[in-house]
Structure 1
Amino acid sequence: MTYDLSPRPLNPAPKTPPMTWPNGAKSALFIGFDVDAETAWIGNNPSNVDRMVTTSHGGYDARVGIGKILELMDELSLKGTFFTPGWTALAHPAACEGILKAGHEIGHHGYLHKLPERERLEEAFEEIDRGFEALQNVLGVRPVGYRAPSGENFPELLAYLAKSGIRYSSSFRDDILPYRHASHNGIAGPVEIPVNFAFDDWNFGMSSRTSPRPLFGREAVLPLWIDEFEATHDWGGVTTLVLHPQVSGRPMRWHSLRDFLRHVQSKADVWIATGQQIANHFEACEAVSPSI
């Protein structure tokens, strides 16, 4: 494959149109969970399927993590978006049904959590189709939001997502406000609710025996999250969380997450919303003031 390395903005999306947050809020908080379960360990490394201790990291989701996260969200009367691979729904239907019954949004997160590759378009599209099919069969839902497995995307995939009914993505790292992806081959791109890498709990709370890296405790993570949130709030942006039940569903991290969410709730001017609610609001603002 020939790569175009000519100097240009590699994301051609236009800037965010003028927008304010609902109800006089100064900023927004988007609580997003990636319910990877075992797919985090087998999607890009299928040989791990025979390494039961390795995959038990992901098995924590259905055995403990999802339930504890749902308890926390109920305790704080919060709703979030749970990006769920199709494989996870098929393997752990009861745990995933609990998410839906609790009133949370289900998002698309591929089928087997495979990294999307531009050189393998049909495989990338198949991951989308199989994910939709599994979520429909198990949960009776067809998501409108998508988070890229392993956090990657490309123009053809964005167009395929939009054509398939995905209205918003939450994967890119290049803004603090939502924006509309540029059209590709005449297909308007989805809305992007961008992510701040500082709020990905995997960076601080997950390691493995084959690729060890340090774990970071409460004294490192909670002040970082609070400081980053406060600065984003001051700038009027959206704080997007990338959380995993197999990480933040662990005891100490669960308490740290609760304290962070309580801190956000203590402010009267933060709109805490699901991905679909944020996308709806962006589209309403976009209709009044198109992107520049």
Structure 2
Amino acid sequence: MTDFPPIAFNRAPPAPDFPWPNGAKSALFVGFDVDGETAWIGNRPENGDRLVTVSHGGWDGRVGIARILDLLEEVKVKATFFIPGWTALAHRLQCEAIVAAGHEIGHHGYLHRRPERSAFDAARAEIDRGFEALDRALGVRPVGYRAPSGENFPELLAYLADSGIVYSSSFRDDFRPYRHLLHDDRPGPIEIPVNYAFDDWNFGMTSRVDPRPIFGRDAVLSLWIDEFEATHAWGGCTTMVLHPQVSGRPMRWHLLRDFLRHVLAKGDVWIATGAEIAAHYRACEAA
């Protein structure tokens, strides 16, 4: 039987208290995971022979990315798009449009393979290959990282820092940004924690190989508004994990637009990219 010492897994100190820019009471980080087909083949290569199953992810390139860019232009919001390297190569024109619209590009692995501590070399190769593909397809070197399938481990976190990653947006243990403490006691990347309630996959995606309930507009919009309002009252950062193959579909596109309009109407929310939030954190940290 495996035993664990009674020590917190996350060694980072508590999130510091710092003000948001321009007198804002809270922040909103709109992050998209542009998985495309990698969501269906990265951890399940057998799906490569299931064209209908993989077509869920094909929505990104055919429809979803363009529709999401239209929405962000309509509401005048800049977002961060975490793109696996494979997606950037397979849907280059659509991903080039993201860059052209002025949005941030983040690292999301290469084939969306879940990092495993027992296979560190493979996890490291996934990072390197992702950097190379994003540079080749889009000419960018990301400073932000979101873990494919939402996993990480100490050695990989250190490798990300050594590779120039300034911030991560993967962990689910706080409502304000903090800085990681690496396993060798060096300061690590800034973490912009995820709020799992804002992962649209949980409510709007199902398939034959991964069946789950689908939730309608009223259930999701009320949940998002309630969770946002509570986070706003606490002065935190509402971090969204959205997917064009979910929120780029008709009803959910309108759902996301209505939520963003609700936030914009507050007038005291700083809506920023991950890079902007990380830069603000560093400035406050230095001061």
Q: Which TM-score bucket, shorter chain as reference?
A: over 0.9
Residue identity in the other structure for 1:155? P
1:19 maps to 18
**Equivalent residue runs for 1:18-37 within 5 Å:** 18-37=17-36
1:100 maps to 99
Instruction: Assess if the C-alpha contact under 8 Å between 1:147 and 1:170 holds in 2.
Output: yes
Q: 1:80 to 1:107 in 2, by over 3 A?
A: same
**Equivalent residue runs for 1:48-67 within 5 Å:** 48-67=47-66
Unaligned runs of 5+ in 1: none
Instruction: Assess if the C-alpha contact under 8 Å between 1:159 and 1:188 holds in 2.
Output: no
Give the distance between the partners of 1:180 and 1:273, measured in 2 at CA: 18
1:287 offset after TM fit, Å? 1.4
Runs of at least 4 residues off by over 6 Å: none
Cα shift readout 1:151-209 (whole Å, capped 9, x = no counterpart): 00111011000000000000000000000000233542100000010000000000111
1:257 maps to 256
1:3 offset after TM fit, Å? 5.5
1:151 and 2:150 are equivalent in the alignment: yes
**Equivalent residue runs for 1:52-201 within 5 Å:** 52-185=51-184, 187-201=186-200
Give the distance between the partners of 2:203 and 2:241, measured in 1 at CA: 12
Give the distance between the partners of 1:252 and 1:283, measured in 2 at CA: 38
2:9 maps to 10
1:210 offset after TM fit, Å? 2.1
Q: 1:183 to 1:38 in 2, by over 3 A?
A: same
1:202 maps to 201
Residue identity in the other structure for 1:14? P
Using structure 2 for the length normalisation, give the TM-score.
0.98
Using structure 1 for the length normalisation, give the TM-score.
0.97
Give the distance between the partners of 2:138 and 2:185, measured in 1 at CA: 32
Give the distance between the partners of 1:154 and 1:116, measured in 2 at CA: 8
Residue identity in the other structure for 2:225? I
Q: Tell me the SS of whatever aligns to 2:15.
A: coil
The alignment yields a C-alpha RMSD, in angstroms, of: 1.0
Give the distance between the partners of 1:265 and 1:99, measured in 2 at CA: 22
Give the distance between the partners of 2:280 and 2:181, measured in 1 at CA: 19
1:267 maps to 266
Q: Tell me the SS of whatever aligns to 2:22.
A: helix
Instruction: Assess if the C-alpha contact under 8 Å between 1:163 and 1:187 holds in 2.
Output: no
Residue identity in the other structure for 2:281? F
Cα shift readout 1:84-109 (whole Å, capped 9, x = no counterpart): 00000111100100100000000000
Aligned-pair identity in percent equals 72
1:15 offset after TM fit, Å? 1.2
Q: Tell me the SS of whatever aligns to 1:171.
A: coil
Unaligned runs of 5+ in 2: none
